[in-house]
Amino acid sequence: MSLHFGLFATESGCVSGLLVDLGSRRPMHADFAPALTRKSEHVLPGATGPSPRRRGPRGPYRQTVIMRIELASEPAAPPAPNEDYAAVALPASGTGGAVVVLDGVTPPRDGDTGCVHGVPWFTARLGGAFLELAGAREAPLADCLAEAIRRTGAAHGPACDLTHRRTPQATVAAARWDGETVEHLVLCDAALLLERPDGAVRPVLDLRLSRLPRDRPAEEMRNREGGFFTAAADPEVAARAVVGGVPRTEVAALAALTDGMTRWTEVLGFGDWAALMQRVRKAGPRGVVAEVRAAEAADADRSRYRRGKVHDDASAVLVEL
Ligand SMILES: [Zn+2]
């Protein structure tokens, strides 16, 4: 399989990417034309070059779509840093792949996190370690997350108080697949959508945050028994993640989303999870980010859509298997 990956940035700071199997001959984003045309046998439909019907050395080119992956991550308010993390590993130890999406929890207003590191440092460390471990396929996803939390904790310095309730932390959505199974893991309010071949969509959600009693500040329930949990400094939290696995034949596509993207459903009410998945597949992660941003901008005083922040960092990875 010949895979190419490209990244590009928009004026708003959105970073997007698309990864394709060049053998699939699938229409691709025009921004990738320069990369693709470097290989004359792989060209965009309509571009000059060999006909798709041309025979290769060993017969007709493969026509089936093997895989399409797109990702986008846009900061809430540039030039403020993006506290999300989104990455994909292909293959993951020779087969399938792995996706990790994190949403770094915004520090309190007073900035007191007990740590000399910023949230973007934390999500880069945690996400990178988690992706590496998930890709190695030596342990279940929850164990990989626990080890990634452990490693990240060790990377803090002596001035960092890892017992601080607001120590840098993140919500998590991850998936790993091979020829047999699609494994998934969700912690806190990131989301993973699994689309079946018949189009039905199953959301994998950790509902603890949304089910907190309303008569107590959510902050009191952070990483506390009976409350909700984030990936912070305690590796044991990984065991509390929502995990599972489904046969790969039952998954046509998946999407990992931070809550800046799930706003499309949960805050803006544009449609249910199945509708969101359809939009992500049709418009791509960039297109859905644009829809969310447009709605937010039209409601800058937050009078129509209830939300804590006008904009939020928004990230999504779409995988069509
Ligand atoms: Zn630190």
Q: How much distance in Å is there from the Cα of 116 to the middle of ligand 1? A: 5
Cα 117 to ligand 1 centre (Å)? 4
Ligand 1 centre distance from Cα of residue 220 (Å):
22
Structure confidence by residue, pLDDT tens digits, 257-297: 999 999 999 999 999 999 999 999 999 999 999 999 999 99
Using the mean position of ligand 1's atoms as its centre, give its distance from the Cα of residue 296 in Å: 33
Q: What is the CATH number of the domain that holds 214?
A: 3.60.40.10
Cα–Cα distance, 131 to 141 (Å, whole number): 10
pLDDT digits (tens, 9 = 90+) for 147-197: 999 999 999 999 999 999 999 999 999 999 999 999 999 999 999 999 999
In a domain, 188, yes or no: yes
Q: Is residue 63 part of a domain?
A: no
Domain annotation covers residue 129 = yes
In a domain, 303, yes or no: no
Count of domains forming the chain: 1
Within-domain flag for 203 = yes
Residue 52 in any domain: the answer is: no
238 CA distance to ligand 1 middle (Å): 20
Q: Determine the distance separating the centroid of ligand 1 and the alpha carbon of 149, expressed in angstroms.
A: 13
For residue 130, tell me if it sits in a domain: yes
Structure pTM?
A: 0.84
What is the rounded CA–CA span in Å between residue 125 and residue 118? 11
Distance 119 CA to ligand 1 centre (A): 9
Structural domain harbouring 112: 75-275+316-320
Whole-number Å distance, alpha carbon 23 to ligand 1 midpoint, is 44
111 in a domain, yes or no?
yes
C-alpha 289/C-alpha 313 separation (Å) is 10
Distance of CA 229 to the CA centre of its chain: 18
Ligand 1 centroid to 236 CA: how many Å?
A: 19
Per-residue pLDDT of 287-316, as tens digits, reads 999 999 999 999 999 999 999 999 999 999
59 pLDDT above the threshold of 70: no
- What are the C-alpha distances in Å from 31 to residues 13, 45, 88, 102, 285? 16, 13, 20, 26, 15
- Distance, CA 295 to ligand 1 centroid (Å)? 36
120 half-sphere exposure, CB direction, 13 A CA radius: 6
